[in-house]
Structure 1
């Protein structure tokens, strides 16, 4: 009996030491989201930018982010861990820490629903409302494998962050369209972007914004315009419907699809745009074809 009591006390002591000194979070929240990890990642960053006294950093990959919120005498850190369950659903595990009041939180949480818990749940609920609204603003349909188009084209180079991709295109559109026509070049298709470099960890991209043209015998020199042949590649294809500002949601969907199906891809998406945003209308009816090149082994 003595031996059993000693073992019980030892186990209890180990459990208490782990709970108060080793357990990494003060509180954990789990919730499911009806979208894929990349959309959650980008939505978190966009939502964070709308908050006061908030900062966020991406950790080792898209699925792990650390957000810090300062309120009053407390600094709360939220560790967002995202796990893809299937093509349409992800699991979010949010670990919350208040370093200044961690011991007090851990002492109180088992016995009462603390203000810290209520505030943490409200914070995560606010983000989920933001995310759910955004998810209704676009659609992504993956069509499996297809060869991307080949064409000769005239392009303008850009280097920016993902959220400003559409703005860069919008700025270049009238210039590219008018200057090509005024120099006697015949347009031969819809505009597109060819991604040259995508730094996923920094949300930055370098790309060519291009118009297909019929190649003449001689090409006029036009400042800031480059001419090139776009080669077609075996690719994963998706159709994106929604505002071009967030067409990168299709990029993340294709990455998620490739990972699940063990397909090696080169993260240099190509997008063909079928609508002119300047004409307005419901963005859910705008169409973008998105190609992600497959790496042949």
Structure 2
């Protein structure tokens, strides 16, 4: 009897020690999101900018992020863990900690619905509303493997971050288009971008914004423009409908598809743009062909 009581007390003490001092979070929230991890990752980063005193950083990969929000005298940490369920659904597990009131929260949570819990649930609910609105603003359709077409082209090189990709394109488009035509070069297709380097952890890009041209006997020398033979390769293909600012959602969808189907790819997507954003209209009708080269 005494031995059983001793074991029980030991187990209780170990449990309390773990609960109050070792457990990594004060509170955990689980929700299901109807989209894939890349969209959640980028949406979290965009949504974080709506806070005055908040920061967010990606941890070991796109499925794990740490957000810190300062409100008054409290500093709340939200660790977002994303687990794909299937091609179009993910589970979000959010671990929440109040750095300055952790012990108090852990003591109160089993007995009452605290303000800390209510505030945490509201924040996650607010993000889910933001995410659900965003996922209605675009569509990604994965197609079969296809040979990426080769072409000769004139390009402008850019170094930027993912969220500024469309801005860089917009700034270059009038110059690239008018200068090429003004120098007697004949356009030979729709504009496209070729990703040279994509740092997924830092959301940074180096890319060429290009126009296919018919190669003449002699090429005019134009500042900031370089000419090249773009060589197509076998690639995974997707159709993206939506604003070009968020066309990288198709990149993540293709990476997920490749991972699930054991296809080795090179994370250097290529996008061909068939709509002119300057003409306005519903972005869901804008069309982009997105290719993810298959690794040799």
* TM-score bucket of the superposed structures, by smaller chain: over 0.9
CA–CA distance in structure 1, aligned partners of residues 207 and 74 of structure 2: 42
Tell me the residue number matched to 2:99: 99
- DSSP 3-state at the match of 1:123: helix
Tell me the residue number matched to 1:146: 146
- DSSP 3-state at the match of 1:67: strand
- DSSP 3-state at the match of 1:169: helix
- DSSP 3-state at the match of 2:189: coil
Tell me the residue number matched to 1:248: 248
**Structure 1 alignment gaps of length 5 or more:** none
Q: Number of residues paired by the alignment? A: 296
Give matches, 1:54-133, under 5 Å. Answer: 54-133=54-133
Tell me the residue number matched to 2:30: 30
Tell me the residue number matched to 2:227: 227
For residue 2 of structure 1, report the CA deviation from its aligned partner. 2.0
CA–CA distance in structure 2, aligned partners of residues 59 and 257 of structure 1: 22
CA–CA distance in structure 2, aligned partners of residues 161 and 119 of structure 1: 32
CA–CA distance in structure 2, aligned partners of residues 253 and 144 of structure 1: 14
**Structure 2 alignment gaps of length 5 or more:** none
Give matches, 1:1-297, under 5 Å. Answer: 1-296=1-296
- DSSP 3-state at the match of 1:11: helix
CA–CA distance in structure 2, aligned partners of residues 225 and 106 of structure 1: 61
- DSSP 3-state at the match of 2:263: coil
Q: After superposition, what is the alpha-carbon deviation per residue over 1:104-127, rounded to whole angstroms, capped at 9, x for unaligned?
A: 000000010000000000000000
CA–CA distance in structure 2, aligned partners of residues 45 and 16 of structure 1: 36
Regions of 4+ moved over 3 Å:
none
- DSSP 3-state at the match of 2:16: helix
CA–CA distance in structure 2, aligned partners of residues 105 and 152 of structure 1: 63
CA–CA distance in structure 2, aligned partners of residues 143 and 112 of structure 1: 51
CA–CA distance in structure 2, aligned partners of residues 174 and 11 of structure 1: 71
- DSSP 3-state at the match of 1:77: strand
CA–CA distance in structure 2, aligned partners of residues 280 and 192 of structure 1: 19
CA–CA distance in structure 1, aligned partners of residues 152 and 193 of structure 2: 13
CA–CA distance in structure 2, aligned partners of residues 206 and 224 of structure 1: 15
- DSSP 3-state at the match of 2:85: strand
For residue 144 of structure 1, report the CA deviation from its aligned partner. 2.9
Q: After superposition, what is the alpha-carbon deviation per residue over 1:116-163, rounded to whole angstroms, capped at 9, x for unaligned?
A: 000000000000000000000000001131111110000111111111
CA–CA distance in structure 1, aligned partners of residues 95 and 263 of structure 2: 32
- DSSP 3-state at the match of 1:100: coil
- DSSP 3-state at the match of 1:235: strand
Q: After superposition, what is the alpha-carbon deviation per residue over 1:15-57, rounded to whole angstroms, capped at 9, x for unaligned?
A: 1111011101000000010111010000000000111111111
For residue 5 of structure 1, report the CA deviation from its aligned partner. 1.5
